[in-house]
Amino acid sequence: MRFQSKSNIADGSYVPIKLNHDFPVSEPDFNVRSSEPAIKPHIHDCLEIGYCYDGSGVFIIEDKILPFKKGDAVLINNREVHITAANPGGMTSWGFINIDQIALLSAYAGPEERCLEADSLCGSNFDNIINCDRYPEICGIIKTIIEETAHRPKGYKSMVRSLVWSLMIKLHRITADLQPEPAVPQLHENLKRITPALEYIAENFSKSISMKKLASLCHSSESNFRKLFHKAVGCAPQVYIRKLRMKAAAVLLRNSSRSVLDIAISSGYATLSNFNRQFLDFYSVSPTEWRKNKTEPVRVHENKN
């Protein structure tokens, strides 16, 4: 297990990772997580990569809600607060590892090397979840890095160095068109103020959630809580909850054989008709059509009000 897995992570904590100076790569953390996250929202001081061995769910990274499935990978740098949860009633199996890629490779890099930086791999335009259908090679590299470090075959350190370098180059190639976003220290402070609410939503989005409960968790009045929440994630609490439910339902439709009714109920909807109506409004297709459509992207209506 890596360092933070057994830590008592407080609200929106900064969690430093202890890495060896000679080979700054943590021991892999293989774990199974349920819909009730055992680790609270947190942020690290180095790069974190992970591979999903089984299950599906959502990552909440800053103001982004990102669904994942078996075979996907994740990359989170040292600037984004994050938490993960399985879909309601489900479990996910992950392998995670932390890396200081600059310390690991700087001795081998020339003065013009730019691919080792990870500051640009974040922000609202960066998708931290690496889709295995679209980028199977990158997901495979992350999986191999984790397993090389776990099993330590002969020459594994050299292998990990070469794989990390390849990973960083490929990541920068697929994100070359993204505009880097400056760090916003105030964003972390805003998120920290509503972290108890975000954690509660992640654990209970399949149930009825009252604004009074969320406000009380943040020691705030309802009116002030709504303002704080909008300031932190860019939308109202009700819109955020709906977005989370829709994305959790969408990944279940594509990656499970559960009935649409079962998925609707587990996603927080009391009736199938209401779920169908909300899903159609959000994704512009019905749940059944979404399930049939395995490849074509569908426009999502993400109301920011």
Question: Does residue 201 or residue 181 have the better pLDDT?
Answer: 201
Tell me: do 158 and 190 sit in the same domain: no
H or E element at residue 69: strand 64-69
Residue 270: partners with Cβ closer than 8 Å, 6 or more residues away? none
Tell me: do 123 and 157 sit in the same domain: yes
**DSSP per position, 74-94:** EEE-TT--EEEEEPTT--EEE
Tell me: do 147 and 49 sit in the same domain: yes
Tell me: do 165 and 213 sit in the same domain: no
User: Tens of pLDDT along 53-69?
Assistant: 998 888 888 778 898 99
Task: Compute the mean pLDDT over every residue in the chain, rounded to the nearest whole number.
Answer: 83
Taking the C-alpha atoms of residue 36 and residue 10, their distance in angstroms, rounded to an integer, is 16
Taking the C-alpha atoms of residue 63 and residue 203, their distance in angstroms, rounded to an integer, is 17
Residue 259: partners with Cβ closer than 8 Å, 6 or more residues away? none
Which pTM was predicted? Answer: 0.77
Question: Does residue 69 or residue 10 have the better pLDDT?
Answer: 69
Tell me: do 204 and 131 sit in the same domain: no
Tell me: do 9 and 133 sit in the same domain: yes
Tell me the helix, strand and coil percentages in the chain, rounded to 5. 45, 15, 40
Question: Does residue 161 or residue 252 have the better pLDDT?
Answer: 161
Let me know if residue 212 belongs to a domain: yes
- Residue entry with tokens 């009935």: 259
Distances (CA, A) of 117 to 111, 133, 147, 236, 274: 13, 26, 23, 34, 46
Of 174, 202, 221, the domain-final residue: 174
CATH at residue 253: 1.10.10.60
User: Tens of pLDDT along 28-54?
Assistant: 999 877 655 555 667 777 899 999 999
The domain of 111 spans: 3-174
pLDDT number for residue 6: 35
Let me know if residue 258 belongs to a domain: yes
Tell me: do 135 and 36 sit in the same domain: yes
Give the range among 178-187, 230-239, 254-263, 296-305 with minimum mean pLDDT: 296-305
Of 149, 174, 199, the domain-final residue: 174
Is the Cβ–Cβ distance between 4 and 15 less than 8 Å? yes
